[in-house]
Amino acid sequence: MLRLVKVESFMEIAFVSSVTLGEDEVLRASGIGVYVQALTRELAKRNIPVIQVTGSGKSGGGDSAPAAEKNTPEKNVKIYRISDKPVRSNSRFIFKLAFKMRSLKFGSDTIIHAQRPELLLPFIWFKHRNPRICTLHGSSYKSVALKHSGLYTAMYRRLESYCLKRAAGIIAVDNATRKEYIERYPNLINKITVIPIGIDLKKFKIMDKRSLRAHYDLPADAKVVLYAGRLEREKRLDALLRAYADLSKKYGRASSKLHLLIVGEGRLRAELEALASDLKLKNVHFTGAIPHDEIPEVMNCADVFVLCSAFEGSPTVVKEALACGVPVVATEVGSIPEVVEPGKSGELLPQKAPPEKISMKIYKILSAEKEQAFNAEACAEKVKKFGMKVITDKIVGIYHEVQ
């Protein structure tokens, strides 16, 4: 009997991101790096070739050298680095990438999947035949406006509009981001699809808290508050430190049991460490960057995860914390209200909540009586639908549409 086998059309994906990838997945930059790595692994399982076009790397493999084998254990994965030195901004990344376009060896049918709108620009100019997709990880425009002048922001908006109009498909990581971009650019209404960020539910799961605390030298009876991510202005970590100071006052003599873990790197680290010193805070631990594979263990050490950002898209760390059974206190931005249910999986904050409000919500979780305590299984249940396989199926569907 003749057996019919469905043959899927050839597909190759080029992820474009200015964050450094492929270096043992250290939590240096953002959830974007984790997003790209997770998608890369899932696509590799499906035998879909992947190219990561990224910033600098440690291997010194040259401007367009594939990553060392240790950094690409999956088959059909290559990494092209555009610089031997750190690329400090997206504008510099675009400039360097434009000069390196000839060294990017892939065909005209390779799908370009950029992680910010402006990163499509060199491909629009020099690889115009390639299908182009962009994932909107929240509002890039707001991020630029927070850090730059009005003139720069106005120029960025024109660039963002130019690139998005020339994208074959656009993925928004949450409904709020889609709504914002449609209000800004109404002509994109039929082009933007909402696909949330997925998480690895095999890694992020409930583990034994007591043994992990012993491993990381944390007291078994400690009250552990955790933040993990970039140390940048929009994360409002100064407000978190001031909230922790207020929380310490609430605990009085028992404040010695409080611990604040700040995991990650960023431009504000020295400033935040100085603020912690000025506030005379105790048991504040700036861990720096740690391998992403260790994040599930660190999260399982925590009693509460806190994210008081001014704006977000679909923050991976919130879902990861919940998957580990840790309740979350977070601002009511992006997709956060879709997974953080007050009284069940955490507490929500106004967008620019003052430190006193943040500390009150943290205290509510930490001081809950046993019968009112947040249930770890209930937290994990909120994010079961965000498994990477399901999310990747939806993204591959977009790839097929633009081929």
CA pair distance 175, 235, nearest whole angstrom? 21
Question: What's the chain's Rg over C-alpha atoms?
Answer: 22
CATH architecture designation of domain 13-198+387-402: 3-Layer(aba) Sandwich (3.40)
Residue 25 neighbours by CB distance under 10 Å: 17
What six digits make up the tokens of 301? Answer: 């050490």
- Give all strands of the β-sheet with 284-288 in edge-to-edge order: 284-288, 258-263, 223-228, 304-307, 328-331, 346-349
State residue 63's pLDDT score. Answer: 35
CA pair distance 186, 206, nearest whole angstrom? 43
CA pair distance 230, 226, nearest whole angstrom? 13
Q: Are 120 and 142 in contact (CB under 8 A)?
A: no
State residue 149's pLDDT score. Answer: 80
> Hey, what amino acid is at 107?
G
Homologous superfamily (CATH) of 209-386 is: Glycogen Phosphorylase B; (3.40.50.2000)
Tell me the mean pLDDT per 10 residues along the chain, length 403: 49 88 49 87 93 68 35 72 79 89 86 96 93 92 78 91 97 93 95 94 95 96 95 95 97 93 94 97 94 92 96 90 97 92 94 96 87 81 93 96 93
State residue 370's pLDDT score. Answer: 60
User: Which of 207, 218, 269 minimizes the C-alpha distance to 28?
Assistant: 269
- Give the residue range(s) of CATH 3.40.50.2000 domains in the chain: 13-198+387-402, 209-386
State residue 353's pLDDT score. Answer: 95
State residue 167's pLDDT score. Answer: 97
State residue 56's pLDDT score. Answer: 66
State residue 62's pLDDT score. Answer: 34
State residue 20's pLDDT score. Answer: 62
